[in-house]
């Protein structure tokens, strides 16, 4: 098993030299301040300090059963949402019941509560929230729309993340992750792809996030975004040199191309009937091992691999088509021999 088939656990950090693929598992968190700015939430409790509040999971909870007094299995650490149904129910309760429910609800370690549809809590709810340091916010968005938007955004931001050594390029809409030993030509291949009209996502360090059970998204660290390192020249700014159309912020990872020095004693796949895979965060990605020799045009090879992968996803496999033709030809010859 090679290094790049290992999936680190959340508590494990894995390092290697720059000459090999390396990884670093990151447990992401989101500050409440970032969420309020992104979702354009208005604070109803400016007295409550939110600077130290962090969100650790992308799930949310609508406070429904809790308003009825049922607190078993209550996920208090999630972002809490109150919609029109919950709001009208809490307003229908008598003052004594409201006081009991509000005191119990807001005694939990709730990171924040968001009221949708510009609904405002009553004075008792607000005072109890301030007393327990639970921040309240309001948004004009409909409950379903707000819930879907914030879950989608937090799923990306809080997704499990690893960093790998490589280059990620958008080639004909396919996210191609180019890996290999340091100095083998990854950055040069990426630069040639950019010149041919494709787009750079990141060079040298690729942050990979598992945004769903079937999707990996690659991004660049802020510090190296849009930069490429070329030995003998130094650092170049792709966006400044070639324009904004030559870069993009994120890209799904659809294909891995592993560059390696040519080994005359090694057998390389020449048909492609059987796919090889590598694994990131438990998700398998198609992987091609490309041997490097002088005179090979890596950019054209990467383009061809991306287009071929796209064709396979659309249902056409050139290797299987060749195999089918060979089998049909052999069958035809055998039938002709039997007739003679």
Closest-CA residue to 119 (of 144, 164, 83) = 83
Angle at 63 between CA 60 and CA 68, to 5 degrees: 155
- Between CA 106 and CA 154 the distance in angstroms is 23
Per DSSP, the residues of 159-222 read: S-EEEEEEEEEEETTEEEEEEESTTSSHHHHHHHHHHTT-EEEEEEEEEEEE-SSS-EEEE--G
Q: Which of 95, 96, 270, 293 is catalytic?
A: 270
Neighbouring C-beta atoms of residue 286, cutoff 10 Å: 16
Strands of the 79-82 sheet, one edge to the other: 42-43, 136-138, 113-115, 79-82, 60-62
Q: Which of 23, 141, 157, 186 is catalytic?
A: 186
Which residue in 203, 204, 210, 254 is the catalytic one? Answer: 204
- Does the annotation mark 204 as catalytic? yes
Whether 263 sits among the annotated catalytic residues: the reply is no
CA angle 194, 196, 201 (to 5 degrees): 25
Residue 18 among the catalytic residues: no
- Residue 186 falls in the annotated catalytic set: yes
Catalytic residue among 141, 157, 165, 248: 165
Structure tokens belonging to residue 264: 């005359």
Query: Which of the residues are catalytic?
Result: 165, 186, 204, 270
């Amino acid at each position: 098993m090679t290094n790049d088939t290992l999936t680190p656990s959340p508590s494990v950090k894995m390092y290697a030299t720059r000459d090999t693929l390396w990884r670093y598992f990151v447990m992401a968190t989101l500050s409440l301040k970032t969420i309020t700015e992104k979702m354009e939430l208005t604070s109803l409790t400016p007295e409550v300090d939110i600077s130290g509040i962090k969100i650790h999971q992308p799930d949310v909870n609508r406070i429904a059963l809790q308003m009825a007094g049922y607190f078993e299995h209550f996920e208090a650490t999630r972002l809490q949402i109150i919609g029109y149904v919950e709001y009208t129910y809490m307003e229908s309760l008598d003052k004594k019941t409201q006081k009991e429910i509000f005191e119990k609800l807001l005694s939990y370690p709730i990171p924040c509560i968001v009221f949708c549809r510009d609904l405002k809590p009553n004075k008792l709810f607000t005072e109890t929230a301030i007393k327990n340091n639970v921040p309240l916010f309001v948004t004009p968005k409909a409950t379903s729309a707000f819930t879907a938007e914030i879950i989608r955004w937090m799923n990306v931001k809080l997704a499990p993340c690893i960093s790998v050594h490589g280059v990620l390029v958008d080639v004909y809409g396919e996210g191609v992750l180019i890996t290999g030993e340091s100095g083998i030509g990854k950055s040069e291949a990426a630069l040639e792809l950019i010149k041919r009209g494709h787009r750079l996502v990141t060079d040298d360090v690729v942050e990979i996030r598992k945004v769903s059970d079937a999707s990996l998204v690659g991004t660049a660290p802020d510090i190296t975004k849009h930069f490429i390192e070329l030995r003998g020249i130094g650092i170049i700014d792709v966006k400044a040199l070639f324009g904004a159309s030559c870069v993009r912020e994120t890209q799904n990872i659809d294909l891995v191309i592993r560059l390696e020095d040519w080994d005359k004693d090694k057998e390389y796949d020449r048909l492609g009937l059987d796919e090889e895979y590598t694994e990131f965060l438990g998700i398998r990605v198609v992987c091609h091992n490309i041997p490097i020799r002088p005179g090979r045009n890596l950019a054209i090879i990467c383009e061809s691999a991306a287009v071929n992968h796209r064709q396979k996803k659309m249902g056409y496999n050139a290797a299987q088509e060749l195999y089918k033709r060979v089998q049909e030809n052999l069958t035809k010859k055998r039938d002709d021999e039997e007739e003679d």
